[in-house]
Each structure stands twice: as C-alpha cells, then as structure tokens.
Structure 1
Amino acid sequence: MDDLTTITLVALGAAALVTLIAGIVALRRLFRVWRELRDESVPGSAKLWFYAAVVYFFWPVDVLPDPVYLDDLGAVLLALHNLKRQARELRGQ
C-alpha cells in the first residue's frame, strides 16, 4: 500500500469511529428521553418531533448517503434540543 491509501484508510476509519460514537451518544439520550415522554405534561408537539426524528433515523431514504449519518444524527439532536427547550419552558426556567 502506498502512503495516500494508508492516509485515506486512516481518515475513513477515524470518521467512522467519530460517527459511531456520536450515534451511541444520541441513542443513549434517545432512550433516556423516551422514558420521560410518558409524562402527561409533555406537549404533543415535542413528542411528535421526537418520534419523527427516530423514524427519520431508521428511514432508508436519507438526504445524505447512508455511510454518513450526519443528517440522521442532526435530526435526532434537533429533536432532543427542541424537547429540552420545551421542558425548560414547562418548568418555568
């Protein structure tokens, strides 16, 4: 193997590892939030954002090709941010 091939493989491996770690973090947050969604005080719009993000995460058609999960993770993180903001508003903080 030449140097360019080695560098390319290392860069692709590093990108895959970063994506995997971000995915694991997002899924851990999703499961934590999923438990909180059972609360009756959570607005329906927040629940809709959450479930839409989960469906998009597993949907086979993506904005970006599937080896790159940035659009999926972005949708999930946007839904989590929205849910967190609405929870703060409910608590009056």
Structure 2
Amino acid sequence: MSREAWLLVVVAGIVAIATLVGAVLLAIRVVRTRRLLTGLGAGGKVAFYGALIYTIFPVDLLPDPIYLDDMGVLAGALIYLTRLVHKRRAAGRQLPGQPDAPPDTGRVRRPVS
C-alpha cells in the first residue's frame, strides 16, 4: 500500500474510534437519567428506551463504524429528557431520584476571603 492509503486508513480508524467513544459517553449519560423516568411520564420513557434500542440495534441509517447517527439520536433524547426535567421542576414537582431542595432561608452567603 502507498503512504497515502495508509494515512487514509489511520485517519478513518481514528475517526471511527472517536465517534464510538462519543456514542458510548452519550449512552452512559442517557442511562444515568433512568432514575428519573418514573417522574417523566410516557414521553420520557419512549425517548429513553427508543434511543437505547436504536443505538444497540444493528440496523442504522449509517453503517455501524460510523456512529454519528447514533450520537444524534442519543443527543436528541438527552435534550428532550432535560427539557422534561426542567419543565417538571418549574411546575414544582419533585422527581424521583432527586435530592430534596434545601429550604431557602433568605440569607445571602458571602464568600470567605
């Protein structure tokens, strides 16, 4: 093989590994949101399980060495789940798995210098 062909193979390998790592990191973040699912309703559960099934399922829009479509689905699910969480918090509902909010004392904390 020529030097240019080897360079192309190495660059393609690096891109494939980088997208795989990105997809795995996004999948981990989606899985960490699982503890909030009971408070997010059916839409949250569909987004969570749909994103994970799409990522694991071997039939994709793009071939498996290219994980950009998987990353897009996982990122979309994270954005949707994050919006659901913020909407629930704005409505004043406590989500399962979330720590209780500390009581507001009205005092301003000043940094210690």
Shorter-chain TM-score bucket reads 0.7 to 0.9
Cα offset, 1:90, TM superposition: 0.8
- Taking structure 2 as the reference length, the TM-score comes to 0.71
Alpha-carbon distance between aligned partners in 2 of 1:68 and 1:59, rounded to the nearest angstrom: 14
Report what 2:2 is aligned to: 2
The 5-angstrom pairing of residues 9-48 of structure 1 reads: 9-37=9-37, 40-48=38-46
Q: Which residue of 2 aligns with 1:81?
A: 79
Q: What is the Cα-based RMSD across aligned positions, in Å?
A: 1.7
| Per-residue deviation, 1:5 | 1.5
Share of identical aligned residues, percent? 35
When normalised by structure 1's length, the TM-score is 0.84
Which position in structure 1 is the counterpart of 2:98?
Answer: none
Equivalent residues, number: 91
Q: Which has the larger radius of gyration?
A: 2
Which stretches of structure 1, 4 residues or more, deviate above 2 A after TM superposition?
Answer: none
User: 2:7 is paired with a residue of what secondary structure?
Assistant: helix
Query: Which whole-Å CA distance do the structure 1 matches of 2:60 and 2:28 have between them?
Result: 22
Work out the CA distance in 2 between the residues paired with 1:24 and 1:61. Answer: 17
Query: Do the aligned partners of 2:23 and 2:70 also contact (CA within 8 Å) in 1?
Result: no
- Point out the structure with the larger helix share: 1
> How big is the shift at 1:31?
2.1
Q: Which runs of 5+ in 2 are unaligned?
A: 92-113
Q: 1:49 aligns with which of 26, 47, 55?
A: 47
Q: Does the 8 Å contact 2:23/2:71 carry over to 1?
A: yes
